[in-house]
Structure 1
């Protein structure tokens, strides 16, 4: 028996446990894996816990991440906090096989010239002037649209259609349409204009905010820099952790959850239950009775997932590249990477790795459906060995001109996300990633569902960011904790939840648009779409 049973020890589950434990609740966390952290966790590449760490992919903290950073600031670590393990990046390399590579500064500019240089890759460099003007008009449309229009109109239009990508230059499509896909789990063709546009704006605002680093990464593998200190801190607060303890189902009497049945058939009773399992697992817990009681639970299975998985290459020599991300513009598998060693200043790499590893290149592949350049197969149709070989070749194709920076002699070993399991036809992904799609907002349930003692805490919960990320999972965990507090009559210490910030200068325009929306009038900027887009949409209405 426990006050609160948290099912799932990822970011959402740990956040809910944290917020409830500091407010005096007895919390038990049940996790199916041997480590906590969910998709953010790191894991030894060998049986030795002190071995090199591998991950599902590198961690990335843009400036608009407020919830997760606030939590990190409240986790003790040595003489400081876990937030001290965040390191600002300085530049992103946009590598190309067909033209010159470019460097986009991510440091906060301190001069007017610096601001212009920082923004030029996002807007003007190599883009036709009419495309730049059109993009600015589209962004102003978003910034002046009221929330009702965003939710009820722009969520039903793809970002690809909203920015009229098919009728713009190839440079525009390459530079703007895929900007968010390079670093976050958004697909421009299927993601909604509401969500992709909002996140695109947040990334730009982060670059303009002189008070916060544009983006940050961790100074060690995720578990060492964050998750393990977090678990230790929660244990001091009385949280009971149960790793290697998968749950099977929720017992429901028609009004409330009466228990959770574990895989070993043991049953756990609690006053409150927080379901914090991934989106692909959650529908297994939604029985017909639960679906009838809370129809929003039945819509979780309509949410879509995609593959966005990582591989780490361990190198005999550290290859720094840029002090930040690398985006491989022409890679068929939409690769991005970070050369980790320059950031892992507190991590003793040499004593852990085989053959005195000196460098770690952490790479994420976001496109698993386009044929590669070696085996001419999409990633999902390759073996694990072929995936590693293909990604290595795509990296070399981008990085070895004009100077050879990656050679086969440098490669000591590699670690591919273990959730990619080989089958007869390639690999299956046992840990896919939730992606935003047109109209998906209505399928995202709130943290507080219509079951009196059940809440949800995972990145598929409806949050301000509406994005599969650590930030959304953390916000969901906070919302779940607030729902529990409300039900238990604890109203004097709610968990803080932040709205996404946009410049106050646009507030009067949003108010005007709210009136237009209520009157059934279109947004004034709707007519800036191309003739083809306007004709197509008018044709649908007719």
Structure 2
């Protein structure tokens, strides 16, 4: 029987283990932490018999997440599957400190009026008509561009430049910055037009697709709703799961991997090795010899990370806010949240933690470099206590109209992601998030890097979504498993989906393939502002 050693027990590693085990491979998974699941895991906040759970951040499943949801549908949980623990949201609250709050419907529209209402947040009356028209032209540019143009041209320009943001209205720039940053940590000033435009379109298409929910979240903390049943299922498939087992290095004989050394000095061997550690950890495993054999691995260190971490506030009231996300449009730390109890239908909050906890507000901060409103310091320079107080203050400023009121006396406790660790000058983040930047596609390795018994499974692998997410990690794990199965003549069943776009644009993409081969610009190139075109042409001379 073929043996495989998976280094890293996050979503990518567990997915690879799942697919390989179903194909009859003998799999062992090594995880450095005491809990599997990577950034997706939840954790008890104390050692009590029925503790509350904290998380790195709340889980979010938009409509274009297909790989991870399909895996969840294959994990038994009670009389159903883990996929049954996904709950559709209904609306997103866009809370502001300077104007009226707005509510954006997230349910799939069932009428023309519903579609118009769904599109209103993306193309609202607040934007000048010329800006809306220009944004539509930019989206049409993307939808009619061939894949090579997207990868070789549009990946080398930022979404900010592509959308001509500097020459647009302040309202347009604010909308461009807030549309995706808070949910997927994409900053338009540095993210490529290829990736950010594609994800923007996928979120928009998801709103209009009647065959799938626009977005879903879990009905309990991540481990209870997903990770723990998954681990049970993997063990049932014969997977050997080893928590608190950290690898130090991998040994390469010039042709293949011949072993893994653990931090305790012991060694392990297998026929196949899957490197599924985080992007900030992976370069430590790439020796000069391995980099020469697989140059794609050397480029991993060029990928950039940012901070996107969560905090849970445990409240003595059930603050529902909206049946979905809350986006705090004026928050300097780019906050989003979910009031969890309305969705945690299988999680008995009354039996967890302090008796007076009646609600959980789970918040994610996506900007750690902008000064806050309370201490006038960025989150990176604050203590953990200051971070909690600052986020609480930003929430209160936005939720002044909430019922019941978000006052200090309703706050029972809080739990900040333990990856945020205090230092002499503030905090450090031991679990940073990979971010998309201009030109970063070429630095993302394939799952199969050309070393005959090594594959890569992490959210930094080149995938269809090109996005640091559970979806990309799951797709990477599938690609790694498929590569191993091909090598050993094992029939693989791990399906990989491309992102879907309306077929009506296919004839235009075919035409653009011809134009691109001839070195001709896209027909929509001329719709950019004169300043933007001049700058780009000047850079090419």
- Please report the TM-score for the alignment, with normalisation by the length of structure 1: 0.99
In structure 2, the residue matched to 1:442 is 442
Q: Is the 8 A contact 1:6 1:274 kept in 2?
A: yes
**Which 4+ stretches in 1 moved above 6 angstroms?**
none
Q: Return the offset for 1:508.
A: 0.4
Q: Verify: 1:518 aligned to 2:517, yes or no.
A: yes
For the residue of structure 1 that corresponds to 2:13, the secondary structure is helix
For the residue of structure 2 that corresponds to 1:413, the secondary structure is strand
In structure 2, the residue matched to 1:216 is 216
Q: Is the 8 A contact 1:355 1:412 kept in 2?
A: no
For the residue of structure 2 that corresponds to 1:51, the secondary structure is coil
For the residue of structure 2 that corresponds to 1:241, the secondary structure is strand
Q: Is the 8 A contact 1:165 1:177 kept in 2?
A: no
In structure 2, the residue matched to 1:142 is 142
Structure 2 CA distance for aligned equivalents of residues 22 and 513 of structure 1: 41
Q: 1:166 to 1:404 in 2, by over 3 A?
A: farther
For the residue of structure 2 that corresponds to 1:121, the secondary structure is coil
Q: Could you list the runs of 5+ residues in structure 1 that have no partner in the other structure?
A: none
In structure 1, the residue matched to 2:407 is 407
Q: Is the 8 A contact 2:276 2:456 kept in 1?
A: yes
Q: Return the offset for 1:121.
A: 1.1
For residues 48-447 of structure 1, the aligned pairs below 5 Å read: 48=48, 50-401=50-401, 405-447=405-447
Q: Verify: 1:530 aligned to 2:529, yes or no.
A: yes
Let me know the Cα RMSD of the aligned residues: 1.1
Structure 2 CA distance for aligned equivalents of residues 287 and 534 of structure 1: 43
Q: Return the offset for 1:382.
A: 0.1
Q: Return the offset for 1:125.
A: 2.7
Structure 1 CA distance for aligned equivalents of residues 492 and 197 of structure 2: 34
Q: Is the 8 A contact 2:176 2:188 kept in 1?
A: no
For the residue of structure 1 that corresponds to 2:197, the secondary structure is helix
Q: Return the offset for 1:225.
A: 0.1
In the TM superposition, what whole-angstrom CA distance separates every residue of 1:327-360 from its partner, at most 9, and x where no partner exists? 0000000000000000000001111121331100
Structure 2 CA distance for aligned equivalents of residues 64 and 13 of structure 1: 21
Q: Could you list the runs of 5+ residues in structure 2 that have no partner in the other structure?
A: none
Q: Is the 8 A contact 1:91 1:325 kept in 2?
A: yes
Structure 2 CA distance for aligned equivalents of residues 285 and 540 of structure 1: 37
Structure 2 CA distance for aligned equivalents of residues 2 and 263 of structure 1: 25
In the TM superposition, what whole-angstrom CA distance separates every residue of 1:247-273 from its partner, at most 9, and x where no partner exists? 000011110101111111111110000
Structure 2 CA distance for aligned equivalents of residues 352 and 385 of structure 1: 23
Structure 1 CA distance for aligned equivalents of residues 125 and 234 of structure 2: 48
In the TM superposition, what whole-angstrom CA distance separates every residue of 1:179-198 from its partner, at most 9, and x where no partner exists? 01121121111000000000
- Matched residue count: 541
